[in-house]
Amino acid sequence: MENDKTTICGLKKENFQKEIKGKQTNLYFLHNVNGMEVAITNYGGSLVAIMVPDKNGNFANIIQGHDNIDDCISSPEPFLSTLVGRYGNRICHGKFTLNGKEYNLAINNGPNHLHGGPTGFHARVWDAEQISDCALVLRYISAYYEEGFPGELSMTVMYTLTDENELVIDYKGTTNKKTIVNMTSHGFFSLAGIANPTPTCENVICEINADFYIPIDENCIPTGEIRSVKGTPFDFTTPHTVGERIDADDEQIKNGAGYDHCYVLNKKEPGELTFAAKITEPISGRIMEVYTTEPGLQFYSDNWADGYKGQHGATFGRRSGLCFEAQHFPDSPNRAYFPPVVLKSGDVYTQKTIYKFGIQE
C-alpha cells in the first residue's frame, strides 16, 4: 500500500531509495487518527521519525535519525534507532558453546561481540510490506553462519502505530537449526524533540520497573551477579531525573560511563507483557511508557555521542538520547542461570514491545 499523505516530518522517500546488493531501500510512513506519524526505512529497520505533540499540540520528532539513506549507512552511531540482531548487547569475547561446539562471532566492541556484529541486522536491507496506513511488516532471512551464528534464521518484525499512540513492535523468528536469538530495537529517544543541538536528557524524569540490575565489568560484560538497585544510583523504582546520579562516584556508573546496564524487569511469570519504564520530559510535557514481554531492559544514556549531525541539521551530543532496549540479558549464552536465548528448529521466537506516547496530566 503506497502512502501518499503529506508528511509532517519533512522526510522524502526519494532520499531513502538506493539499491544495495540487488535489494531496494525505501522509506515508509505510519499514521494514526491523532495526527501522529512514524517514518521507518527498511535499511536496518531504522526508526527515522516519530512525530509526537507536546502539551501545546506542537509536533516534533522525538527519535534520533538521519534524513537520507547514505547518512544512515555511514552513521557515526551504526545502531542509531535500528533493529538489532541476531544478538542484542554483548557476548564475552564473541564466543559461546551450543551442542558442545564452540562458535566464534565477529568482535566489534573492544574484545567483545556487540549487537549482532558490524554487518548485523542493523546493516541489512529487509523486505518490506506496508499492509495498512498504520502497519509495516519487515522480513529478513539471516544465512547460516552469518556473522558466525549457527542456523538459518527467518525473522519477521511488524511495526504498528495504534490510535492509542502506541508504537507496537512484534517480532517472530524461526530457525532450521538450533541457534541463539536476542532481538531488540535500539531507539534513541529525545522527548524534547531533536534540534541543533538536541537538548541533554539529564532533566528527563525516569522510572524503571526493576528491583534488580546486572552489574558489568570494565568491558561492559556482566560480572554474573544480579544486584539489588536499592541504595544505588540505579534505583528508578521511584521517579528520578536521569542526571541526578549519572556521574555518581560509583564503580558501576564508571564502568558504563553513565547508564549502560540491563535491568531485570519485575515479572510474575516469564513472557508476560508488563510495564517496564516511563520517562517524562518536563518542559514539553511529553511522556513515553515502555511495555515488553522481555525479561530485561537495557537502559543506555547515550554516553558516547559527540555532537554528530542528524536529520535536518540536528546534532546529537553526549546524553542527548535515552535508549530502552527490551531484550534478554547480555552474555546469556555463557550464563546458564540467565533466561535462555536458544531457539530450536520447530520453535518460534516471539517478542512484543510497546512504546506508548502521551502528555503529562
Strand partners of residue 161: 167
Cα within 13 Å of Cα(295), Cβ side? 16
> For 114, left (φ over 0), alpha (ψ -120 to 50), or beta?
beta
Confidence grade of residue 5 (pLDDT, cut at 50, 70, 90):
low
* pLDDT given at position 301: 98
Is residue 263 over pLDDT 60? yes
Rounded Cα distance, 235 and 248, in Å: 13
Is residue 3 over pLDDT 60? no
Cell of 186: 535500539
User: Tell me: the pLDDT tens digits for 29-69?
Assistant: 999 999 999 999 999 999 999 999 999 999 999 999 999 99
Q: Which long-range contacts (CB under 8 A, 24 or more apart) does 318-321 make?
A: 318/200, 319/200, 319/201, 319/202, 319/242, 319/243, 319/246, 319/258, 320/64, 320/190, 320/197, 320/198, 320/199, 320/200, 320/201, 321/64, 321/188, 321/189, 321/190, 321/198, 321/201
- Written as one string, the DSSP assignment of 219-273 is TS-B-S--EE-TTSTT--SS-EEGGGSTT-S-HHHHHHTS-EEEEE---SSTT--
Cα within 13 Å of Cα(190), Cβ side? 28
Rounded Cα distance, 153 and 181, in Å: 9
Q: Is 186 a catalytic residue?
A: yes
Residue 131: exposure state from Cβ atoms within 10 A (0-12, 13-18, ≥19): exposed
What is the arithmetic mean of pLDDT over 114-135?
A: 98
What is the arithmetic mean of pLDDT over 146-170?
A: 98
Is residue 355 over pLDDT 60? yes
Report the CATH architecture of 13-200+285-359: Distorted Sandwich (2.70)
Rounded Cα distance, 82 and 40, in Å: 9
Which position has the grid cell 540467565?
A: 338
In this structure, how many other beta carbons lie within 10 angstroms of the beta carbon of residue 100? 5
Is residue 13 over pLDDT 80? yes
Is residue 281 over pLDDT 90? yes
Is residue 6 over pLDDT 90? no
Is residue 1 over pLDDT 60? no
Exactly one of 186, 281, 294, 328 is catalytic; which is it? 186
Confidence grade of residue 147 (pLDDT, cut at 50, 70, 90):
very high
Is residue 167 over pLDDT 50? yes
Rounded Cα distance, 215 and 250, in Å: 11
What is the arithmetic mean of pLDDT over 219-224?
A: 97
Exactly one of 37, 77, 281, 325 is catalytic; which is it? 325
Q: Is 164 a catalytic residue?
A: no
Triad 296, 297, 298: Cα angle to 5°: 120
Q: Quote the distance between the C-alpha of residue 124 and its chain's center.
A: 16
Which position has the grid cell 509532517?
A: 8
Rounded Cα distance, 345 and 322, in Å: 35
